[in-house]
Amino acid sequence: MAATIIDSPIFGNIFSTDAMRAVWSDENRTAKYVAIEKALAIVQGRLGIIPREAADEIVRNCDISKIDMDQLRAQTERIGYPILGVVSQLNALCRDKLGEYCHWGATTQDITDTATVLQIREGLELVDADLRALSATLADLARRHRDTPVAGRSNLQQAIPVTFGFKMATILAAVERHRERLAQLKPRVLVGEFGGACGTLASIEHGAMATHEGLMAELELGVPAIAWHTVRDSIAEVGTFLGLVGGTLGKISMDVKLMMQTEVGEVYEPFAHGRGSSSTMPQKRNPISSCYIHAAVSVVRQHAAALMDAMIADHERSTGPWEIEWIVLPEAFCLTAGALRQARFILDGLEVDAAKMRANIDLTNGLVMSEAVMMGLGRHIGREYAHDLVYDICREAIRLNRPLLDLLAGHPEINRHLDRAALARLCDPANYLGQSGVMVDRVLARLPIRGQS
Spatial contact of 266 and 360, defined as CB atoms under 8 Å apart: yes
How far, in Å, CA of 169 to CA of 224, rounded?
Answer: 38
One-character DSSP codes across 346-415: HHHT-EE-HHHHHHHHHTTTTGGGHHHHHHHHHHHH-HHHHHHHHHHHHHHHHHHT--HHHHHHT-HHHH
More confident residue, 168 or 284: 168
Backbone angles phi, psi at 150, to 5 degrees: -150, 150
pLDDT (tens digit, 9 = 90+) per residue, 278-324?
Answer: 667 666 678 899 999 999 999 999 999 999 999 999 999 998 899 99
User: Model pTM?
Assistant: 0.93
How far, in Å, CA of 33 to CA of 50, rounded?
Answer: 19
Judge whether residue 406 has pLDDT over 50.
Answer: yes
- Three-class DSSP category at 181: helix
Looking at every residue in the chain, the average pLDDT score rounds to 93
* pLDDT above 90: percentage of residues in the chain: 85
Judge whether residue 97 has pLDDT over 90.
Answer: yes
Supply the pLDDT for residue 399. 93
Is the domain 367-426 a CATH 1.10.40.30 member? yes
pLDDT (tens digit, 9 = 90+) per residue, 209-266?
Answer: 999 999 999 999 999 999 999 999 999 999 999 999 999 999 999 999 999 999 999 9
* pLDDT above 70: percentage of residues in the chain: 96
pLDDT (tens digit, 9 = 90+) per residue, 325-370?
Answer: 999 999 999 999 999 999 999 999 999 999 999 999 999 999 998 9
How far, in Å, CA of 94 to CA of 97, rounded?
Answer: 6
Supply the pLDDT for residue 68. 95
317 is catalytic: yes
Supply the pLDDT for residue 453. 42
Backbone angles phi, psi at 352, to 5 degrees: -110, 120
| Annotated catalytic residue within 132, 143, 153, 317 | 317
Cβ burial, residue 403 (10 Å; 0-12/13-18/19+): middle
Which residues lie closer than 8 Å to 274 by C-beta, 6 or more apart? none
- Three-class DSSP category at 71: helix
| Euclidean distance between the first and the last CA atom of the chain, given in angstroms as a whole number | 45
**Residue from 339, 337, 179, 160 nearest 256 by CA:** 339
pLDDT confidence band for 448 (50 / 70 / 90): low
Tell me what the mean pLDDT of segment 269-278 comes to: 73
How far, in Å, CA of 281 to CA of 178, rounded?
Answer: 40
**Residue from 231, 239, 229, 217 nearest 120 by CA:** 239
Supply the pLDDT for residue 183. 96
How far, in Å, CA of 109 to CA of 87, rounded?
Answer: 13
**Residue from 105, 296, 138 nearest 214 by CA:** 105
Domain borders along the chain are: 367-426
Supply the pLDDT for residue 286. 87
Q: Could you tell me the maximum CA-CA distance found in the chain, to the nearest angstrom?
A: 105
Supply the pLDDT for residue 413. 87
* Amino acid found at 321: P
On the CB side of 109, CA atoms within 13 Å amount to 21
Supply the pLDDT for residue 132. 96
Supply the pLDDT for residue 278. 63
More confident residue, 450 or 78: 78
Supply the pLDDT for residue 287. 87
Judge whether residue 452 has pLDDT over 50.
Answer: no
Judge whether residue 42 has pLDDT over 70.
Answer: yes
DSSP letter at 161? E
How far, in Å, CA of 106 to CA of 44, rounded?
Answer: 11
Exposed e or buried b per residue across 342-378, where buried means at least 16 C-beta atoms within 10 angstroms of its C-beta: bbbbbbeebebbbeebbebbeebbbbbbbebbbebbb
| Annotated catalytic residue within 278, 395, 416, 446 | 278
Judge whether residue 451 has pLDDT over 50.
Answer: no
Supply the pLDDT for residue 71. 95
